[in-house]
A and B are shown apart, each in its own frame.
Chain A
Amino acid sequence: MGKTLAEKIWADHIVSSAANEPDLLYIDLHLIHEVTSPQAFDGLRLAGRPVRRPDLTIATEDHNVPTLNIDQPIADPVSKLQVDTLRANCKEFGVRIHSLGDSQQGIVHVVGPQLGITQPGMTIVCGDSHTSTHGAFGALAFGIGTSEVEHVLATQTLPLIRPKTMAINVEGTLKEGVTSKDIILAIIAKIGTGGGQGYVLEYRGSAIRALSMEGRMTVCNMSIEAGARAGLIAPDETTFAYVNDKPHAPQGADWDAAVAYWKTLQSDADAVFDKEITINADDLEPFVTWGTNPGQGLPLNAVVPNPADIADAEERGAAERALTYMGLVAGTPLKSISVDTVFLGSCTNGRIEDLRAAAAVLKGKKIASTLRLLVVPGSAKVRLQAESEGLDQIFLDAGAEWRNAGCSMCLGMNPDQLKPQERAASTSNRNFEGRQGKGGRTHLVSPLVAAATAIRGTLSSPSDL
């Protein structure tokens, strides 16, 4: 019997395997940031252990950094201590770091691909659940906790129980105005926030093949929102072309050897997935969430659902709670919901193509006077690229705020937060209660919907303009 892509990568990284034990898996790349690493470095120090492979480790500052006045010391002393701790740890243990102000600083999942250190067939981990983003390259990439961060720092391996595999076939052609974000929101609405638990997802089919690398990253990014630790896409010519001109791409004979290997990284025709589902891309519409988990989403043309129509008691209760928290009434057209803030950014939708798509909608227009639009590039490099293309000027002319790179309002750890009951359309990945600020209300959307919403003031798609 053939193997799935995830099974192939897994098999290629087994250091040791024994009955009734987890496999010990080799980790090709370890990405770290300021929030989930300090306790891990403390653990190394206590045990007198070095970082085994600093040359397979890289750090950046993203979760807890300001997006304004980055040339000044961080104002919040607790945040400053956390960032300073990362810098000191990297210095002590010999780990490469891209700090605030460095042209390669940014959200860890934007930085890896843009440096070309994210490549097909790798195992990649980070103390962040959106590490699944790197699966877009045909890598097995997943989020870990701080104990595991310490384990990888000390041994460059992780003991892991092999996950099951699920194929998600997305066949057909997306309509104009429908994006990779809408694909993944529709998948999560279909299988639920727990649907992927215990699985590695493999996104397949013509609609996935047609996506750019950045679109694929958006899809894989939100695998965790479907409950799966990892999601991946088989590498193809699109992948190879993207990696080819990046700083850390293999060179010369190494490139040829790498591509020869990468071409083997596909699920075999006779491979059997533990589960398989199919989504028709032709039918998809711009998607938006109405509730407080990413599975509570609907096409933008729908109305706020009535919990009484939900058969499952658990889901009904969750929907009732969500509507109360969100301040929404069943039956309200989603397009009539007005927002106070639009957030464009995050590891889901903070790359250059996302900014270009939003800028194309905003060009020559003004945002509604009732809201603010925050544009936060995913990395300093994305910011510089956008500025070289004049996108910053389009955003500023429209009335938006043009910020420096970081996770920002996606998780509301730095000063970029929603106020209680403030409502946002956000291109990020989580609409949990209080995620973007205590009491804040989040609707997850694509960059196109974010831009159109910023102009109209209510949840909208570019076709409404």
Chain B
Amino acid sequence: MEKFITHRGTAIPLRRSNVDTDQIIPAVYLKRVTKSGFEDGLFSAWRSDPEFVLNNPSYAGATILVAGPDFGTGSSREHAVWALQNYGFKVVLSSRFADIFRGNSQKAGLLTIILAQEVIEEIWQKIEADPQLALTVNLEAKSVTYGETSHSFQIDDYTRWRLMEGLDDIGLTLKKIDQVGAFESERASYKPKTLPALQ
């Protein structure tokens, strides 16, 4: 995974609440067996509307999505994260993320930052007034900055460290694999196994 320290880019306002992962990427796009090429499915139903904000050329090239509350609800599909990344997004800001979506984003290296809804509203107004306004997201300093304004955000230390170092979670766990083995040796014999198959 690529290290994430800071990112500077323009932002796009998505003034909708409860954007579920079926909206981010509908199921018909989930048939692929790769992690790439999902950008064509991103918000596909809404993109057929010329008024939809992603179709507004003023926001072309934006890398930060500023979303309404409860972003990423519903299905556990990590394809939603890949679709956002494949399209070019590096960061999503929202006042509330669904648990599974947030977990997936932190595994895949898409930074999801929680800011108060008043702050999201303020950023919406700023970028609607000036779509070329650049935002700087600094994970080390835990801040989102534009012009003279800076907002701090919270993120747990472990996830922040892992994202800043670009570390693979599996590699970290494999360092503790002896402890996993020790745990397994104590597991109760009545716990079910899938093999051999009984039916």
> Does A2 make an interface contact (CB < 8 A)?
no
Q: Is the CB of B75 within 8 A of A22?
A: no
> Does B77 make an interface contact (CB < 8 A)?
yes
If the complex has contacts A143-B100, A293-B73, are A155 and B180 also in contact, measured as CB distance less than 8 A? yes
Point out the residues of chain A lying under 8 angstroms from B78, CB to CB.
36, 39, 127, 145-147
Contact indicator per residue, chain A 388-399, by CB within 8 Å of chain B (1) or not (0) = 000000000000
Most-contacted residue by chain A among B70, B78, B99, B198 (CB, 10 A): B99
Q: Is the CB of B22 within 8 A of A24?
A: no
Interface of B is mostly: loop
Q: Is the CB of A115 within 8 A of B199?
A: yes
Interchain CB contact (< 8 A) of A147 among B31, B33, B104, B172: B104
If the complex has contacts A36-B76, A117-B194, A227-B73, are A151 and B173 also in contact, measured as CB distance less than 8 A? yes
Point out the residues of chain B lying under 8 angstroms from A197, CB to CB.
70, 96, 98-99
Q: Is the CB of A147 within 8 A of B107?
A: yes
> Does A156 make an interface contact (CB < 8 A)?
yes
> Does B28 make an interface contact (CB < 8 A)?
yes
Interchain CB contact (< 8 A) of B17 among A159, A255, A314: A314
Point out the residues of chain A lying under 8 angstroms from B32, CB to CB.
78, 82
How far, in angstroms, from A43 to B188 measured CA to CA in the complex? Answer: 31
Q: Is the CB of A129 within 8 A of B75?
A: yes
Contact indicator per residue, chain B 136-175, by CB within 8 Å of chain A (1) or not (0) = 0000000000000000000011100000000001101110
Q: Is the CB of A16 within 8 A of B179?
A: yes
Question: Can you pick out 7 interface pairs between chain A and chain B where the beta carbons lie within 8 Å of each other?
Answer: A43-B170, A129-B74, A151-B107, A157-B180, A159-B169, A248-B198, A433-B45
15 additional A-B residue pairs with CB within 8 Å, beyond A119-B191, A122-B191, A144-B100: A16-B176, A35-B77, A54-B194, A58-B194, A81-B33, A96-B194, A96-B195, A104-B199, A147-B169, A157-B173, A194-B96, A194-B98, A197-B70, A227-B99, A247-B199
Chain B interface residues (CB < 8 Å from chain A): 16-18, 20, 22-23, 26-28, 30-35, 45, 68-70, 73-79, 81, 96, 98-100, 103-104, 107-108, 156-158, 169-170, 172-174, 176-177, 179-180, 183-184, 187-195, 197-199
How far, in angstroms, from A318 to B17 measured CA to CA in the complex? Answer: 7
Interchain CB contact (< 8 A) of A79 among B18, B31, B104, B156: B31
How distant is A298 from chain B, measured CB to nearest CB, in Å? 18
Q: Which of A244-265 touch B at CB < 8 Å? A: 247-248, 250, 254-255, 257-258, 261
If the complex has contacts A54-B195, A117-B194, A147-B78, are A20 and B33 also in contact, measured as CB distance less than 8 A? no
Q: Which of A89-148 touch B at CB < 8 Å? A: 96, 103-104, 115-117, 119, 122, 127-129, 143-148
Q: Is the CB of A150 within 8 A of B170?
A: yes
Number of interface residues of A (CB under 8 A): 88
How distant is B97 from chain A, measured CB to nearest CB, in Å? 8
Contact indicator per residue, chain A 10-40, by CB within 8 Å of chain B (1) or not (0) = 0000011000111010101100000110110
How far, in angstroms, from A56 to B30 measured CA to CA in the complex? Answer: 26
Contact indicator per residue, chain A 306-323, by CB within 8 Å of chain B (1) or not (0) = 000000001101100100
Q: Which of A35-84 touch B at CB < 8 Å? A: 35-36, 38-39, 42-43, 47, 49, 52, 54-58, 63-64, 76, 78-79, 81-82
Point out the residues of chain B lying under 8 angstroms from A156, CB to CB.
180, 184
> Does A430 make an interface contact (CB < 8 A)?
yes
How far, in angstroms, from A198 to B35 measured CA to CA in the complex? Answer: 27
Point out the residues of chain B lying under 8 angstroms from A35, CB to CB.
30-31, 77
Q: Is the CB of A64 within 8 A of B173?
A: no
Number of A-B contacts (CB under 8 A): 216
Point out the residues of chain B lying under 8 angstroms from A76, CB to CB.
31
Query: Smallest CB-CB separation from A94: which chain B residue?
Result: B195
Interchain CB contact (< 8 A) of A15 among B70, B108, B158, B180: B180
Point out the residues of chain B lying under 8 angstroms from A85, CB to CB.
33
Interchain CB contact (< 8 A) of B190 among A15, A227, A257, A438: A257
How far, in angstroms, from A110 to B194 measured CA to CA in the complex? Answer: 15
How far, in angstroms, from A435 to B79 measured CA to CA in the complex? Answer: 15
Q: Is the CB of A15 within 8 A of B183?
A: yes
If the complex has contacts A57-B194, A145-B103, A145-B107, are A36 and B77 also in contact, measured as CB distance less than 8 A? yes
> Does A271 make an interface contact (CB < 8 A)?
no
If the complex has contacts A143-B100, A145-B81, are A224 and B74 also in contact, measured as CB distance less than 8 A? yes
Query: Smallest CB-CB separation from B26: which chain A residue?
Result: A434
> Does A456 make an interface contact (CB < 8 A)?
no
> Does A328 make an interface contact (CB < 8 A)?
no
> Does A229 make an interface contact (CB < 8 A)?
yes
How far, in angstroms, from A317 to B45 measured CA to CA in the complex? Answer: 19
Most-contacted residue by chain B among A143, A145, A194, A247 (CB, 10 A): A145
Point out the residues of chain B lying under 8 angstroms from A129, CB to CB.
74-76, 100
